[in-house]
Amino acid sequence: MNTLQLLSSALTGAFVAYSIAAEAKATVHTVITTECGAYFGWQSLGLVYSHRKAGQPGPLTRIMSCTPEEYALLSEESINVIPTHVAPSYTTHPRTGDVYSAYNKPVAVIDWLARNDVKEEYVSYYRCRYDYACSIHPRK
């Protein structure tokens, strides 16, 4: 094994150990809401990077609002970049027919909460275009 392989192996092991320790102490679950599409995939990757760089403990979940047609166009790789919950799209309001993509945010979070057993004490909501400057630790 050469030096680069040893270093890579050591860093990977340290990251896994750090991730397990961070998950064990986590009391905050960070969620971001997005729509389907490559643009939101890139924004999600940026937030994943800043989430890790800031040392934010706890899981990060992307809640993606998609129509069945939009979802069918996504690659498996783009869906599995980070843990992702796919919620139905409410861009078009089901009763009024009004088209407004901001309807997706509250409905998608409600859908995620209804279909998942969230263990953390707090849920931190981020828009995917924002980055972490530092980690967030709630006070009890």
Q: How far is residue 75's CA from residue 1's CA, in Å, rounded to a whole number? A: 35
Q: Which amino acid is at 49?
A: Y
Residues 85-124 have pLDDT tens digits of 999 999 998 899 999 988 899 999 999 999 999 999 999 8
What pTM was computed for the model? 0.73
Residues 10-47 have pLDDT tens digits of 334 433 333 444 444 658 999 999 998 888 888 888 88
